[in-house]
Amino acid sequence: MGSMTKRRWLGVCFSLVLGPALAASLKIDTGHGVQTLESGALLRRADARDITVPEDVSYHRSMTWRAVPLRALLGDLPADAHIQFTALDGFSAEIPLKDITNTKGAQAWLAIEQPSEPWPPLKPGKPGAGPFYLVWTNPKAAGIGPEEWPYQIAAIRLLPDPATRFPAMRPDAALPADSAAVRGFAVFQRHCIACHTLNGQGDARLGPDLNQPHNPTEYFRDDMLRTLIRQPSQLRHWPEGKMPGFSPDTLSDADLDLLLAYLRQMAAQRKP
């Protein structure tokens, strides 16, 4: 995940430190000096409150969290900023600031685990989502997808957009801006970049690269690839499989078509 120096150079950095009492501290650097906030101080903030999430993405049931508005912790940032949330398992969610500051009714919250009340495990034998977890109220209002609910957060950083950082991911510059492949790149950034690299570029370490050594459009029939994306368990099972299914409510049929167009294009742009 890089050194603290690298994280500060990238912008916003939250560093997780666990103490003997399982309390956590949060280091925030927006380029104006480092702030260190203890979980207890965050829980005592005037804007901290209990929020109920009727359909929590990670726990698959209604959950109540003690949380603070994420926007209040970030300060003033460029409107086109991208915020990257890197989890301990390599999941790397990237959320445009405009999603966090949307005016459509969805709100991002940083849920904080209270040391005296540890959160339940995500699954039997697994740890919980704490000590920091990004949750949303009214997420459907702004089209917030399941990849935008990172938990066990280890670092949060302000970054340039993926097209700038990862040029090998970009479709051919000669393609029209409204082409299916270019529009599909936007779908890829929203739903796939959290887990997958492409052409060896990207920050995620959870899933395989989608163009090296081969592109899935090259070894899956179209219908099988659509099944893998919609319902992975219908296609294959393996002990460490973590890929979620993307229902039409999360990834529309039109967006799935665009995503496949992007992958086909990138198969022709494979980088050695």
**% pLDDT > 70, the chain:** 86
3-state helix, strand, coil in the chain (%, to 5): 30, 20, 50
Structure tokens, 200: 């060896």
Q: Is the pLDDT of residue 170 over 60?
A: yes
**Token couple for 143:** 């089209």
> Does 135 have pLDDT greater than 90?
yes
Rg of the chain, C-alpha, whole Å: 19
Q: For residue 157, what pLDDT band results from cuts at 50, 70 and 90?
A: confident
Q: CA–CA separation, 263 vs 120, rounded Å? A: 38
Q: Is the pLDDT of residue 122 over 80?
A: yes
Decide if pLDDT at 202 tops 50.
Answer: yes
Give how far Cα 36 sits from Cα of 17, 20, 76, 188, 233, Å.
10, 18, 18, 34, 42
Output the pLDDT for position 19.
Answer: 41
- pLDDT tens per residue, range 48-90: 999 999 999 999 999 999 999 999 998 888 888 888 887 877 6
H helices of 13-146, in order, are 39-43, 70-74, 97-100
Q: What pLDDT does residue 6 have?
A: 41
| Contact present, 39 and 53 (Cβ < 8 Å) | no
- Average pLDDT of the segment spanning 176-194: 93
pTM of the model: 0.77
Paired residues of 159 in beta bridges: 82
**For range 89-115, the mean pLDDT:** 90
User: Domains (ranges, CATH) in the chain?
Assistant: 4-160 (no CATH), 163-267 (2.60.40.420)
Q: Which residues contact 2 (CB under 8 A, 6 or more apart)?
A: none
Per-range mean pLDDT, top range of 12-16, 188-192, 203-207: 188-192
Q: Is the pLDDT of residue 242 over 90?
A: no
Q: State the pLDDT at residue 233.
A: 80
DSSP alpha helices (H): ranges in the chain? Answer: 4-10, 39-43, 70-74, 97-100, 162-165, 180-191, 216-219, 222-230, 253-267
